[in-house]
Structure 1
Amino acid sequence: MDIASLFACFVIAILFFVIVAAIAFLGSLPGRIAQGRNHPHVDAINAASWIGLALGGVLWPVAFVWAFIPFGNSTPAEGSEVETLRKQVAELQAELDSLKSASA
């Protein structure tokens, strides 16, 4: 074997490992995103991403988008809205109690 053939084998081996690493990174990306966002369906998203990659990338975009869908009070807008409503209810309750005590 000459030096050019050895170099070609080395380049092919490096490319193989880079492709495997890229597939592993892409396969775990939706699951890691969902876990970081405390998504309730982390396991399903992770499974869909790996199955999607195994099927040629068919389900992977679905899993990727699914990882970003907010659930519950996970978004700041919903959380602040709920907090505002709680304050309003507390103020109304205090006003109602003061009206009851004034009429009695």
Structure 2
Amino acid sequence: MGDPFLNWLALGVLCFVVVVLFYGIIAIHDVPHMIAVQRDHPHQDAIYAAGWVSLFTLHALWPFLWIWAMAYRPDRGWGFSQPDQHAQSALADEIAALRRRVDELEARTEAPPVKGS
């Protein structure tokens, strides 16, 4: 039957490996939630709950949770890039010029009231 000490050692190592794998999988599934918390994501709670659901769906949702958590950044929101200030000021100047032009055109098209008809 062999040495009983080695049997108990093997059982202990097996239990240790199972426990480490169990907690490792849970820790890995919490990564999207930690990213969401770090980025101050508006859907932190939903990402956390979906991470637990992903544990029971054999990790099918986990890649989508990672993408969902990474898509939001506090400095730019959901967009891909922040428009530069020069482009914004140029657009604001163009809008102001167009508003002046519309006001001038509206002033020209207003007909004076007809007297004595």
Q: Which has the higher helix share?
A: 1
1:40 aligned counterpart, secondary structure: coil
1:76-95 matched pairs, under 5 angstroms: 77-78=81-82, 81=83, 83-85=85-87, 87-88=89-90, 92=93
| In structure 1, distance between residues paired with 2:56 and 2:62 | 9
Deviation of 1:77 after TM superposition, in Å, equals: 3.6
Identify the residue that residue 54 of structure 1 maps to in structure 2.
56
Identify the residue that residue 17 of structure 2 maps to in structure 1.
15
Task: Name the Cα RMSD after superposition.
Answer: 2.7
> Residue type matched to 1:50 in 2?
W
CA 1:84–1:21: 2 relative to 1, 3 Å: farther
CA 1:13–1:56: 2 relative to 1, 3 Å: same
Deviation of 1:3 after TM superposition, in Å, equals: 1.1
Q: Which runs of 4 or more aligned residues in structure 1 lie more than 4 Å from their structure 2 counterparts after TM superposition?
A: 85-90
Deviation of 1:49 after TM superposition, in Å, equals: 1.4
Partners of 1:34 and 1:67 within 8 A in 2:
yes
CA 1:82–1:69: 2 relative to 1, 3 Å: same
> Residue type matched to 2:41 in 1?
H
Asked if 1:28 is matched to 2:27, the reply is: no
Any stretches of 5+ residues in structure 2 without a counterpart? 98-117
> Residue type matched to 1:55 in 2?
T
Aligned-pair identity in percent equals: 27
> Residue type matched to 1:40 in 2?
P
Partners of 1:49 and 1:64 within 8 A in 2:
no
Deviation of 1:84 after TM superposition, in Å, equals: 3.6
Asked if 1:70 is matched to 2:72, the reply is: yes
Q: TM-score, normalised by structure 1?
A: 0.69
Q: TM-score, normalised by structure 2?
A: 0.62
How many correspondences in the alignment?
91
Any stretches of 5+ residues in structure 1 without a counterpart? 97-104
* Higher CA-based Rg: 2
